[in-house]
Structures are given as C-alpha cells and as structure tokens.
Amino acid sequence: MSNTRQSAEANPGLAVLELSFHYGTKAALDTVSFEISAGTFCGLLGPNGAGKSTLVSLLTRLLVAPDGEISVAGCNLRQAPRKALGKLGVVFQQPTLDLGLTVYQNMTYFAALHGLPRSEVPARIDAALDRLNMRERAGERVRDLNGGHRRRMELARALLHDPSVLLLDEPTVGLDAAARQAITDHVHDLATQGLCVLWATHLTDEVRDDDQLLVLHRGQILARGQTSDLRGDQTLSDWFLSQTEVPA
Amino acid sequence: MSGFWGVARAIIGREFLRFIHQRERFLAALVRPMVWLLIFAAGFRAALGLSIIPPYQTYITYETYIVPGLCAMVLLFNGMQSSLSLVYDREMGSMRLLLTSSFPRWWLLFCRLLGSTAISILQVYTFLALAALFGIVLPLPGYIAVLPGLLLGGLMLGALGLVLSSFIKQLENFAGVMNFVIFPMFFLSSALYPLWKMAESSPLLRDICAFNPFTHVVELIRFLLYLQINWGALIWVLGSTVVLCTIAVWGYDPARGLMKRKS
C-alpha cells in the first residue's frame, strides 16, 4: 500500500504476493497481493464467503497455497515457517481458549508453544494482562469470564511473544457494543505504537478514516488504499455495499 | 532444544489438567475393564477351557487370561477418546492455536500423542491395581516390565486416533468410529480368546485376528507381564506405529493433507 506511514521495504510488516488457493476446483483466492507496513492498522473488509477466512488460514499456515508468497516481518512463511510464525500474533474468529483452565494456565501454555524462556514467562504474562486490565483475573477459570473478557484475554495472549504482526479474524463477533469499542480502540493504539495490524471484518464501523483498507470480494482484492480516500463522500457502509453489491 | 522440551511439558501437562478436570472420564475408563473382568469373565470361565500356552507355564483362570486384553482395551479406548478430543479441539478452535505454534507440526502432534499415552498408562496401572485387589495378581516384576509395551501400544493406538481425527470431519461422525474401529479391533483379536481357539471355529477369523495390529499389542503386553518378549508382536506393533504416525503427519500437513478442505 503506497501511502502507509513507512515503506514496507524499510519497515516490513506483512507482505502477500500473488497468493491463490482452491478448494478442489473452486477458487477461494485468486492472485491476491498486498503489503502492510509496520505501524499500520489495515482493515480487511469482505462480505461472507469473500475468502477472508481462507486468507487467514494461509497467513497462519493452517493451509499452504501451492502458488504465491507470504512474508511476515521480513520472514518468508514458506522458507522459514518457524521464524515467520514466531513474529505473528493471531486472534482467531473462533475462541481458542481452554475453558477448564485458568487465565494464567492458558497464557503459560501459549508461552510454551512459542518457546518463550521459562524465566521470562511470569513477567511477560503479568505485563500482557496489565496492558488489557486483566491481571486481577489471572487466577479465574476462563469458563467464568464473560465474552468481552475472554476476547481481551485472547488479545493479551496473542501479544505475549511480542509479535511484529497482529492478525485478527472478526475478533468482535458476539461482543456487546462497549466490549467491541474497547477492543477496536486498543488495537488501533497498538498500531500507533508500531505494530502491523490486519483486522478482518465485515463490520464497517470498526474501520477508521485514517486506516488502510483492503476490500476482498469473491477471492480478489477489489479496492485498496486509505479509507477516507476510498469512500469519498459516502459512508463506508454505503461505499462498501456499492462495491460488493451484497448486503454487508 | 529446551524450547522443544518446554513444548512437550506444556502439551503433556495440559492433557493431564484436562484429564483431572474430567473425573467421570477417569471413572468410565476404570469401570469398563472392571465390568469385563468381574462380570463377563466370571460368566465366561465355565464355557471356555484354556490349555497351557505361552507365556503361561501352568493352567490359568480366564480372568488372568483376559487381563492383558483389558489393559490393551484401556489403551484402545483412550486412543479413541484422544481422537475425539482432537476433533473437538478442531471444531472449538484450540487445534488452531496448537498448529500455529512456531514449532514443527510433527513435534506438536507427537507431544499430543505422548500426553494421551501417558494418561492411558496411568489408567492401565490403576486398573491393574484394582484387579490385584480382586485377587488377580501377576508376577511382581511384570508390572514394571510391561511399561515399555504399554508405551508402545499406547503410541500405536494413539497414532490410530490421530489418523482417524484427521479423517473425521465432525464430532457427530464419531459414533461410526465406535462401530467400525473399536469393536471390530477388540473382538477380532486375542484379547478375549486365544487365536487357536478362534481357529477351531473359523481359520479365516483366526487369520484376520492375526493380521489385526491390536492382537499384537495384546500379546506384547501379555508376554511382558510374564517377563518375556514376543518378538513377532513387537515388530508388528513397531511397524504399525511407524506407519500410523507417518499417515497422521501427512494428514495434518497443511500443504498435502486432509486439513485442506473447506471447514
């Protein structure tokens, strides 16, 4: 994306080059390319079935495409998957918490999965939970937390290993307006602090005017650029509907 | 390297924590073989005459005969339970968390396998202790000698569970696994009756039983409990473990495997 705060070459975030993927004969993604620099919040808007979830699966290496390249903070996902995944923080659309375990136990499990040194883990967990005002809940079972707190915990966990790129797949699904607002604001702040953020959603009110925007439709990038430039005089919702011609 | 052990510790520890939280699962795992041992075997002993066959050096009661088969049954059911929880994890999302770890996928799957096997072994020893309380006591060193056999058998059946979990799309399909995998594997084996007895009724059935890897898990355990090694069974189980682990790793490979489908 040309008008990001710093060029992708100088400050690499997430780069995708000519990525295609098929389920059998059905194309889910068709030569998708984009770049997002560090310190950028990029909304990935697309109606249901646009290919967002497939893209997220490819970016997290749950799937591997035969064609195309993905680079996470300068690390090629195909050539150096461990290094690339180590620089990626993910909040999936589906909850990925162990409900029977406490917040702290969930965080410890994640820390081990990313090979964090044991001596550093307690301090990192405290800091991550502090950042989202969740420290006092460290000993609570996840089952006892409400939806908003569970999401905040997942966000805290995704940041535990200091990733350079944060990927969120419809992270506000099922949350009330206040929790949605809080998470959206917090992630925008993280981008201001230097994180590269890709936020997949179909809710236009989660994307701000000064955010970068990618519109994915039927497996292809339909539009890209700064949100205010793209939407012009229309509301983002109207503009998005006019582009995709399906209910948002 | 410490990171690899840290991952192993975390995954195995998580399996234990989950197991502790599911007390009814522990109870079911114990009740099942005890019912077979105390009710089925008691009724069946009169109907079945056993001759002296290796590794036994004297006449044994039917209860003693089926203990190794019931140990293997615990491993089998737990392997399938583990497969069920993998499908559940995939539906619930926690599988995604595991597979997006920066460690190699084969290592993550192997740790998961090791965790479920460790729990199986714990259940087998609890069952053996309960059996001893009811008077079915085996040679004391056999309890230690059987450990490698339980580990290998548990890994083989757990790997089978991994393979099945990569094939099964939804939790609802799991009932089919019970009908088409667990029951045939258990009944077409030497767990309940020796193969020579099976041959008396049908040589074909006997051949099928001899081909069933579960039979070899049972025999491996049976011989180790009496401080002997059944080399044929060992080779069968080792070979089956390698084959099943390879298929499981293939099944979970993001580029080639069975994960490549629209979920």
Residues B141-171 pLDDT 10s? 999 999 999 999 999 999 998 888 887 766 6
Contact A95, B92 (CB under 8 A): yes
- What's this model's pTM, rounded to 2 decimal places? 0.82
| A144 pLDDT above the threshold of 90 | yes
pLDDT of the residue at A34: 95
Cβ of A62 within 8 Å of Cβ of B254? The answer is yes
Q: From the list A28, A66, A113, which residue is nearest B7 (CB)?
A: A113
pLDDT of the residue at A165: 96
Q: From the list A61, A83, A112, which residue is nearest B254 (CB)?
A: A61
Does domain A1-81+166-174+196-248 fall into CATH 3.20.20.70? no
| B172 pLDDT above the threshold of 70 | no
- Which H or E run contains A16? strand A14-23
Spatial separation of the C-alpha atoms in residues B178 and B164, rounded to whole Å:
11
pLDDT of the residue at A6: 44
- Encoded tokens for B45: 């002993």
pLDDT of the residue at A25: 83
Across the range B95-101, mean pLDDT stands at: 84
Please count the residue pairs, one from chain A and one from chain B, whose beta carbons lie less than 8 angstroms apart.
Answer: 85
Contact list, A109 vs chain B (CB under 8 Å): 10, 13-14
pLDDT of the residue at A3: 43
Spatial separation of the C-alpha atoms in residues B154 and B152, rounded to whole Å:
5
pLDDT of the residue at B129: 95
ipTM over 0.90: no
Q: Edge-to-edge, what's the strand order for the sheet holding A88-91?
A: A88-91, A165-169, A196-201, A41-45, A212-217, A220-226
Q: Which residue of A has its CA nearest to B252?
A: A62
pLDDT digits 0-9 by tens, A3-57 = 434 444 556 899 999 999 988 888 899 999 999 999 999 999 998 888 988 999 9
For residue A117, the distance in angstroms to the closest alpha carbon of chain B comes to 7
Q: Rounded mean pLDDT of chain A?
A: 88
| A214 pLDDT above the threshold of 50 | yes
Q: Domain coordinates of chain A in residue numbers?
A: 1-81+166-174+196-248, 88-162
Q: Domain coordinates of chain B in residue numbers?
A: 2-251
∠ Cα B213 B214 B217 (to 5°): 95
Comparing A34-48, B61-75, B196-210, the range with the smallest average pLDDT is B196-210
pLDDT of the residue at B256: 59
pLDDT digits 0-9 by tens, A106-136 = 999 999 999 899 899 999 999 989 888 888 8
Categorize the per-residue pLDDT at B59 as very low, low, confident or very high, splitting at 50, 70 and 90: confident
Contact list, A66 vs chain B (CB under 8 Å): 255
Spatial separation of the C-alpha atoms in residues B200 and A208, rounded to whole Å:
79
CB neighbour class for A45 (10 Å; exposed up to 12, middle 13-18, buried from 19): buried
| A245 pLDDT above the threshold of 60 | yes
Across the range B38-45, mean pLDDT stands at: 79
Q: From the list A82, A94, A114, which residue is nearest B92 (CB)?
A: A94
- Encoded tokens for A239: 């503009």
pLDDT of the residue at B58: 73
pLDDT of the residue at B241: 95
